[in-house]
Amino acid sequence: AEYSGKLKVAKLNIDENQETPAKFGIRGIPTLMLFKGGNVEATKVGALSKSQLTAFIDSNL
């Protein structure tokens, strides 16, 4: 609800979508990618705390 109207979230199972990680150069799980206009704007690999996650999102919105 905090980012309602500003952000859409999608989850991808790489076991079921094996071409996607190679397409985007994903080498670690979890990987968070922020897209704008269909292009990758920012990427973060590894687990994040809530404060790290919100800081990452806020700095890229």
How many CB atoms sit inside 10 A of residue 59's CB?
A: 9
The reported pTM is 0.84
For residue 21, the enclosing domain spans 1-61
How many CB atoms sit inside 10 A of residue 53's CB?
A: 13
* Counted domains in the chain: 1
pLDDT digits (tens, 9 = 90+) for 18-43: 999 999 999 999 999 999 999 999 99
Residue 1 has pLDDT above 90, yes or no: no
Task: For residue 13, give the CATH number of its domain.
Answer: 3.40.30.10
